[in-house]
């Protein structure tokens, strides 16, 4: 059982600061992999909590594999996001303020396989076709990623 779950046994639903490791996966066509979350039925990129003693990059790789079946061959740091925009209350009532360390992954192997009980669907999207129902705590990082891609003139 992970660090956050152990804390939850002690503190219940009170707000916690949570360090997350996330991955924005790009395919060879520049499309972005998003997952439809089982808990809130919103789309988002892959990621989750960093466990005690775990390196953030290793947590990102672990979460990517657990949620998608993909193995990251390389990760590039995109940014660290925090503050009020990353506040979230899970459907079960657990409240967090995330510090999200976001990586970009363009080199990976494996076949897509959604994690049962956590991911309902996995799909690559063109930047112009990103769904509107994006999970709240990742809206700002995803918007920053899209803006970054547009400024690089990588979308047509």
- In CATH, the number for domain 3-151 is 3.90.79.10
- How, if at all, do strands 16-25 and 95-109 pair? parallel
pLDDT digits (tens, 9 = 90+) for 84-133: 999 999 999 999 999 999 999 999 999 999 999 999 999 999 999 999 99
Beta bridge partners, 69, equal none
Distance CA 31, CA 124 (A): 6
Reply yes or no on whether the pLDDT at 153 is more than 80. Answer: no
- How, if at all, do strands 46-49 and 16-25 pair? antiparallel
**Confidence (pLDDT) at 1:** 56
pLDDT digits (tens, 9 = 90+) for 19-37: 999 999 999 999 999 999 9
* Residue 21 structure tokens: 């490791």
Reply yes or no on whether the pLDDT at 149 is more than 70. Answer: yes
pLDDT digits (tens, 9 = 90+) for 39-53: 999 999 999 999 999
Q: Is the pTM of this model over 0.85?
A: yes
Q: Count the alpha carbons within 13 Å of 19 in the hemisphere toward its beta carbon.
A: 12
pLDDT digits (tens, 9 = 90+) for 120-135: 999 999 999 999 999 9
In the predicted model, what is the mean pLDDT of the chain?
94
């Amino acid at each position: 059982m992970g660090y956050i779950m152990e804390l939850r046994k002690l503190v219940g639903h009170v707000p916690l600061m949570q360090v997350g490791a996330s991955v924005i996966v790009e395919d060879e066509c520049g499309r972005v992999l998003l997952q439809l979350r089982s808990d809130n039925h919103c789309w988002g990129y892959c990621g989750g909590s960093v466990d005690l003693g775990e390196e953030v990059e290793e947590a990102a790789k672990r979460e990517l594999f657990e949620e998608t079946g993909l193995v990251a061959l390389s990760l590039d740091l995109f940014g660290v996001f925090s503050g009020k925009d990353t506040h979230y209350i899970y459907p079960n009532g657990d409240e967090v303020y995330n510090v999200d360390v976001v990586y970009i992954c363009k080199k990976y192997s494996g076949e897509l396989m959604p994690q049962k009980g956590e991911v309902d669907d996995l799909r690559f999207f063109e930047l112009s076709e990103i769904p509107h129902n994006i999970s709240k705590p990742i809206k700002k990082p995803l918007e920053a990623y899209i803006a970054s891609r547009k400024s690089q003139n990588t979308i047509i």
